[in-house]
RNA sequence: GCGAGGGUGGCUGAGCGGCCAAAGGCGGCGGGCUUAAGACCCGCUCCCGAAGGGGUCCAUGGGUUCGAAUCCCAUCCCUCGCACCA
């Protein structure tokens, strides 16, 4: 008869459950404990804390895997720094203004404020359940009047500093969102709205601008010194700012104003065979007044969609421009390929040396003139160049350029500036920052329009200009709220209207990292002195989608704030930047609703707990790399946590048999130290996956240790504690639980980081052990030894080490060795060994014979265990001569008896 | 087209002048534990080899070096940014 199956299974399972942890119980409990102990609060008087920051989330209402990854990274790092004894500022807040709230309000019959606040509540709850440790006392929300009043205040300070302008501009208008979009918010060739994919239109409107272009040069140049930023982000910013060094020169067009051109190739000016104006250029417009053909073309170009026009489209104006270099008259065209807002919107065209000019000239039968030929060291042969066929766009030597023939391009560019009365000029792609948005849910721009006085700033004491109640309307709700809109002029007291545009939400995210420093301050946006001490942010982590917009704006704000003395000597906000990679679906593709491959953090927390999710994410890849979700990996992370917990539980219950210290204990002790050391440096380098791998290896070692012998309690417990601490930043709840289980007082979150010194020459020890084990395996296998009974390891004699030491630095190894009196005594043997070493080309570092002996003795148990054989480790003098003679430094002689 | 970053064993992915036939994981194979399975543990996983040896190898081709996966040059391919930018 056999016992009922179900009975045994249930018993086994309940026993297992008894040993394991239940995440639904321990996680909330420890979250509460941290909260009660105020672990994550940082006092205002902290000095230069480690500032660890994740990009604050937009208040969409739910956390996705990208957030979870982002915040796990900063939380782990913040916890790591805290355990190392650093004061840590790790705050959280809400990017809570913006269009989606208005849309959501419309869909759900509520208003943006209520909707946003409820989103914040639910996200805060989710963050807490993940066990992220924030100083919630410093929480901020950009939609809070106490926050956005400072957007308004700062707007006025920018105004004082001459950084605000009202400009008419052709702007990107999304007909669906009914708002102006920044260039950055228009996507792709088709120019689609980033939010709703509607094709955008262009409208001419008056807008408020921040003149970020005043800082273009510094924003560009300072990128070189942001050494701890990813290269690609810096490169993207360089592209975005688009610095171009060149020169401008004036051309006369008879009957019209002088026209300035901008060029980076002034050396080719002798080859200019026509002149071209953008359709939007004022002189083109002027010409159009008297020239129907030009007028027609300009109209057509303005109406045409991008790419509708051929690159060779253009029209001859009948006018001629004088080339200041040659004095020749060249025909003036209006051509769409010349862009109004690039350079000066006018250029002289050199078809011989520019591809687009070449194409245009060919289409319009304009002469092509070569003025540069390849220099001697160039790849191209001057004989092979035929500019009638294709433009030669490289630098070279000038020809057909009058007295300047033979000059190098570079030199010519410099020389021609003065020669032709031009000036050196640097152009940037960066445009001023249009911040006006025709939306409700944003920061009201604190200006009043008065018929008498024009645009008047709202006085400081009247800030904030608060948003009125939301009303449903097709246009801008602020425009529709009459009693809000109508006010009196602060200057003349007459009737006036408020500015109804609100600010771009990127204003709010351009300085939020400063507000965290003093979130409740009532008379300034932030405490200047403290901010100057606490800034810059030491570690900033977020998605690379913010590489240009947010990160440039925040840099711009920081520089301005420094210049207007609100902070002192902080010119860059983010010292280290990490852009985290995407979390892909299990199929390796981007998670999306349509694919249905999304994984909800909520579900993972419910099923496995926050620690498992955090551990899996951190083990999966380095922060900047993308990785695919893998339920196998999640399970493995969970199993690991359970097994460590179980091991600790068993130990704490006295179920692990204990005994005296031994060489095995010594071995384990060294591994513990080495693990702490390597995990620490991996944490420092943001390579959490490597750190966690080391922890897994340590835990595995502890399990084997316990299996093979009665453990030394001090060593074993130290191993458990060390593994737990190293794991704590990533899996904090389980770690606390184990910490308590092992009888420790206080919170692990506040405990000290393990001392992190690897034993001296640990790497050499490791090598010796691994090489030796490898060699034993190799022998057993190659020889085909079925069942090894006895394995003897003999360390090389001291004199061989001496030979190696001499050989390592010697020019001529053999003579150097044989000239050494002590070594001469070993005669032929020494010479032979020296020859061997010489043949290898270089000599490794080795441990001393004594260290080798001790190292192998400590590691002998691993070999014993693996081969189930007795292992003897002998010094050279204790070993039989014929065995010892085969040993070399770093390589013991091995004898295996079956 | 311009720029940045890459191409490593069945897959993934570390390494970035000698310690590299190249970590870890996954997958596969064999063994241990177990009534069995899972978990766990021990190996193997480019080719040859009856004592730790030899050969070939890190996209392709050339080069530097006593020595290259690692440095340089060229080519091909991938990914990402920018792009009618004067």
At A768-793, the pLDDT tens digits run 998 899 899 888 888 888 788 899 99
Residue A695 phi/psi, 5-degree rounding, is: -65, -40
Tell whether ipTM is more than 0.90.
Answer: yes
A842: nearest nucleotide, CA–C1' criterion: B18
Give the mean pLDDT of A611-617: 93
**How far is the C-alpha of A327 from the C-alpha of A251, rounded, in Å?**
10
Strand B nucleotides where any atom sits below 7 Å of a protein CB: 3-5, 13-14, 18-19, 23-27, 35, 39-44, 49-53, 66-67, 80-82, 84-86
Residue A502 has pLDDT above 70, yes or no: yes
E-strand ranges in A482-530 read 486-488, 495-498, 502-503
Q: What is the pLDDT of residue A494?
A: 93
Q: Residue A532 above 60 pLDDT? A: yes
Going from the C-alpha of A374 to that of each of A46, A357, A391, A408, the distances in angstroms are 63, 19, 12, 10
Question: What tens digit of pLDDT does each residue of A39-77 get?
Answer: 999 999 999 999 999 999 999 998 999 999 999 999 999
Neighbours of A755 (CB within 10 A): 10
Q: How confident is the model at residue A363 (pLDDT cuts 50, 70, 90)?
A: very high
Lowest mean per-residue pLDDT among A370-384, A386-400, A454-468, A536-550: A370-384
Nucleotide nearest to A782 (CA to C1'): B50
Say if residue A379 is preceded by a cis peptide, omega within 30 of 0. Answer: no
Straight-line distance from CA A861 to C1' B49, in Å? 29
- For residue A441, is pLDDT > 90? yes
A344 beta carbon < 7 A from strand B? yes
**Closest residue, CA to C1' of B14:** A690
A485/A11 Cα distance (integer angstroms): 73
Average pLDDT over residues A518-539: 97
pLDDT in tens, A566-606: 999 999 999 999 999 988 888 777 888 877 888 889 989 99
Judge whether residue A882 contacts strand B, using its CB and a 7 Å cut-off. no
Our measurement of CA A695 to C1' B25, in angstroms, reads 14
The pLDDT, as a whole number, for residue A19 is 63
Cα–Cα distance between A133 and A122 in angstroms, integer?
Answer: 17
pLDDT of A190 over the 90 cut: no
What is the C-alpha separation between A544 and A166, in angstroms, rounded?
Answer: 31
Q: Distance (Å, rounded) from C-alpha A601 to C-alpha A264? A: 52
Higher per-residue pLDDT: A814 or A863: A863
Q: How far is the CA of A630 from the C1' of B11 (A)?
A: 14
Predicted confidence at residue A828, as pLDDT, reads: 82
Q: What's residue A618's pLDDT?
A: 93
Using the CB atom, is residue A336 less than 7 Å from strand B?
yes
pLDDT at A811 over 80: no
Task: Determine the pLDDT at residue A4.
Answer: 33
User: Would you state the pLDDT for residue A496?
Assistant: 95
Predicted confidence (pLDDT) at residue A8 exceeds the cutoff of 70: no
Helix (H, G, I), strand (E, B) or coil at A331: strand
Mean pLDDT of A117-140: 96
Check residue A858 and give its pLDDT.
Answer: 93
Backbone φ, ψ for residue A7 (5° rounding): -60, -50
> What is the mean pLDDT of the segment spanning A306-315?
77
The residue-averaged pLDDT of A353-375 equals: 92
Mean pLDDT, chain A, integer:
90
Instruction: From residues 33-72 of A, list those within 7 angstroms of strand B by Cβ.
Output: none
Mean local confidence (pLDDT), A848-872: 91
Check if residue A264 sits with its Cβ under 7 angstroms from strand B.
Answer: yes
Segment A360-375 mean pLDDT = 92
Res A628: pLDDT: 87
Question: Tens digit of pLDDT for each residue in A76-98?
Answer: 999 999 999 999 999 999 999 99
- State which residue has its Cα closest to the C1' atom of B37: A9
> What are the phi and psi torsion angles at A197 (to 5°)?
60, 20
Pick out the nucleotide with least CA–C1' distance to A774.
Answer: B52
Residues 763-802 of chain A with CB under 7 A from strand B are: 763, 767, 771-775, 777-779, 781-784
Judge whether residue A841 contacts strand B, using its CB and a 7 Å cut-off: yes
Distance CA A72, CA A199 (A): 37
- When pLDDT is cut at 50, 70 and 90, the band that residue A3 belongs to is very low
Contact, A824 CB vs strand B, < 7 Å: no
Residue A802, SS3 per DSSP: helix
Q: How confident is the model at residue A756 (pLDDT cuts 50, 70, 90)?
A: confident
As a whole-number percent, the residues of chain A with pLDDT over 90 amount to 64
pLDDT band with cut points at 50, 70 and 90 for residue A7: very low
Nearest nt to A343, CA vs C1'?
B86
Average pLDDT estimate for A433-438: 89
- What is the spatial distance, in angstroms and rounded to an integer, between the CA atom of A127 and the C1' atom of B77? 43
- The reply to whether the CB atom of residue A263 sits less than 7 A from any atom in nucleic acid chain B is yes
Give pLDDT, residue A181. 74
A 146-205, residues with C-beta < 7 Å of strand B: none
Asked if residue A270 has pLDDT above 50, the reply is: yes
> Which residues from the 456-485 window of protein chain A have CB within 7 angstroms of nucleic acid chain B?
none
CA/C1' separation A230–B6 (Å): 15
Strand partners, A580: A543
Q: Is the pLDDT of residue A442 over 80?
A: yes
Query: What is residue A264's predicted lDDT score, i.e. its pLDDT?
Result: 92
Residue A102 approaches strand B within 7 Å at CB: no
Rounded to whole angstroms, the distance from the CA of residue A686 to the C1' of nucleotide B14 is 15
Q: What is the pLDDT of residue A302?
A: 79
Model confidence at A257: pLDDT above 90: no
Nucleotide nearest to A865 (CA to C1'): B42
State the nucleotide closest to A264 in CA–C1' terms: B86
**Lowest mean per-residue pLDDT among A84-88, A102-106, A634-638:** A102-106
**In the predicted structure, residue A251 carries a pLDDT above the cut 80:** yes
In angstroms, the CA of A807 and the C1' of B66 are apart by 15
Which residues are within 8 A (CB) of A204 and not within 5 positions of it... i.e. 6 or more apart?
Answer: A168, A169, A170, A171
CB proximity A891–strand B (7 Å threshold) = yes
* CB A4 under 7 Å to nucleic chain B: no
What's the pLDDT score for residue A421?
92
The mean pLDDT of A204-209, rounded to a whole number, is 88
pLDDT for residue A513 is more than 50: yes
CA A897 to C1' B51, whole Å:
11
């Amino acid at each position: 008869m056999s016992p009922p199956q179900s009975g045994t299974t249930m018993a086994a399972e309940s026993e297992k459950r008894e040993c394991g942890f239940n995440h639904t119980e321990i996680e909330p409990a420890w979250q509460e404990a941290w909260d009660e102990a105020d672990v994550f609060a940082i006092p205002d008087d902290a000095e230069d804390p480690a500032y660890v920051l994740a990009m604050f989330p937009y208040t969409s209402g739910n956390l996705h895997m990208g957030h979870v990854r982002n915040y796990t990274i900063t939380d782990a790092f913040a916890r790591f720094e805290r355990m190392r004894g650093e004061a840590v500022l790790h705050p959280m807040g809400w990017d809570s203004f913006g269009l989606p709230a208005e849309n959501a309000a419309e869909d759900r019959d509520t208003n943006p404020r209520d909707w946003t606040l409820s989103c914040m509540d639910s996200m805060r709850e989710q963050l807490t359940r993940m066990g992220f440790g924030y100083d919630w006392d410093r929480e901020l929300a950009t939609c809070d009047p106490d926050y956005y009043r400072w957007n308004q205040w700062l707007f006025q300070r920018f105004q004082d500093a001459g950084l605000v302008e009202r400009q008419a501009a052709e702007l990107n208008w999304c007909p669906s969102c009914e708002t102006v979009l920044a260039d950055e918010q228009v996507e792709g060739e088709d120019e689609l709205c980033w939010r709703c994919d509607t094709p955008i239109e262009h409208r001419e409107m008056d807008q408020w601008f921040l003149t970020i272009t005043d800082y273009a040069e510094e924003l560009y140049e300072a990128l070189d010194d942001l050494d701890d930023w990813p290269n690609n982000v810096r490169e993207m910013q360089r592209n975005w700012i688009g610095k171009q060094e060149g020169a401008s020169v004036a051309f006369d067009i008879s009957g019209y104003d002088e026209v300035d051109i901008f060029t980076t190739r002034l050396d080719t000016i002798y080859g200019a065979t026509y002149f071209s104006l953008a359709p939007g250029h004022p002189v083109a417009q002027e010409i159009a007044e008297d020239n129907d053909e030009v007028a027609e073309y300009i109209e057509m170009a303005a109406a045409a969609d991008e790419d509708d026009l051929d690159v060779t489209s253009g029209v001859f104006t009948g006018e001629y421009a004088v080339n200041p270099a040659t004095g020749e008259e060249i025909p003036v065209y209006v051509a769409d390929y010349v862009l109004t807002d690039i350079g000066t919107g006018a250029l002289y065209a050199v078809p011989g040396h520019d591809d687009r000019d070449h194409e245009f000239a060919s289409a319009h039968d304009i002469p092509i003139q070569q003025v540069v030929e390849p220099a001697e060291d160039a790849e191209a042969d001057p004989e092979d160049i035929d500019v009638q066929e294709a433009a030669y766009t490289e630098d070279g030597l000038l020809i057909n350029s009058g007295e300047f023939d033979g000059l190098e391009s570079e030199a010519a560019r410099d020389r021609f500036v003065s020669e032709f009365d031009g000036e050196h000029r640097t152009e940037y792609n960066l445009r001023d920052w249009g911040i006006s948005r025709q939306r409700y849910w944003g920061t009201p721009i604190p200006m009043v329009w008065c018929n008498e006085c024009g645009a008047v700033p709202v006085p400081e004491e009247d800030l904030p200009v608060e948003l009125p109640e939301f009303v449903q309307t097709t246009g801008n709700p602020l425009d529709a709220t009459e009693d809000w809109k109508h006010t009196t002029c602060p200057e003349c007291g007459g009737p006036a209207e408020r500015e109804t545009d609100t600010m771009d939400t990127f204003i709010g995210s351009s300085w939020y990292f400063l507000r965290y420093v003093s979130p409740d301050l009532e008379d300034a946006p932030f405490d200047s002195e403290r901010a100057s001490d606490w800034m810059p942010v030491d570690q900033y982590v977020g998605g690379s989608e913010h590489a240009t917009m947010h990160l440039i704006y925040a840099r711009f704000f920081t520089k301005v704030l420094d210049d207007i003395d609100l902070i002192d000597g902080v010119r860059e906000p983010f010292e280290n930047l990490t852009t985290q990679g995407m979390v892909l679906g299990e199929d390796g593709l981007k998670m999306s609703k349509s694919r249905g491959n999304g994984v909800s953090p909520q579900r993972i927390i419910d099923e496995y707990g926050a620690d498992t999710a955090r551990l899996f994410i951190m083990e999966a890849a380095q922060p900047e790399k993308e990785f695919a979700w893998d339920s196998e990996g999640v399970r493995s992370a969970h199993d690991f946590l359970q097994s460590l917990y179980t091991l600790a539980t068993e130990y704490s219950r006295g179920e692990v048999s204990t005994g005296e210290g031994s060489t095995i204990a010594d071995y384990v002790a060294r591994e513990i130290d080495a693990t702490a050391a390597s995990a620490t440096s991996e944490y420092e380098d943001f390579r959490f996956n490597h750190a966690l791998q080391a922890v897994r290896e340590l835990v595995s070692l502890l399990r084997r240790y316990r299996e093979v012998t009665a453990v030394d309690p001090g060593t074993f417990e130290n191993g458990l504690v060390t593994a737990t601490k190293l794991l704590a930043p990533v899996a904090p709840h389980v770690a606390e639980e184990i910490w308590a289980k092992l009888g420790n007082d206080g919170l692990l979150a506040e405990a000290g980081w393990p001392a992190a010194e690897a034993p001296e020459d640990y790497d050499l020890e490791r090598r010796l052990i691994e090489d030796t084990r490898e060699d034993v395996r190799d022998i057993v296998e190659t020889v085909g030894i079925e069942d090894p009974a006895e394995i003897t390891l003999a360390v090389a004699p001291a004199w061989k080490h001496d030979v190696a030491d001499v050989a390592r630095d010697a020019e001529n190894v053999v003579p150097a060795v044989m000239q050494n009196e002590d070594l001469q005594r070993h005669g032929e043997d020494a010479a032979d060994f020296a020859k061997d070493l010489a043949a290898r080309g270089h000599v490794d570092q080795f441990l001393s014979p004594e260290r080798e002996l001790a190292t192998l003795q400590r590691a002998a148990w691993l070999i014993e265990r693996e081969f189930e054989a007795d292992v003897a480790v002998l010094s050279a003098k204790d070993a039989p001569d014929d065995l010892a003679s085969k040993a070399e430094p770093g390589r013991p002689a091995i004898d295996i008896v079956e």
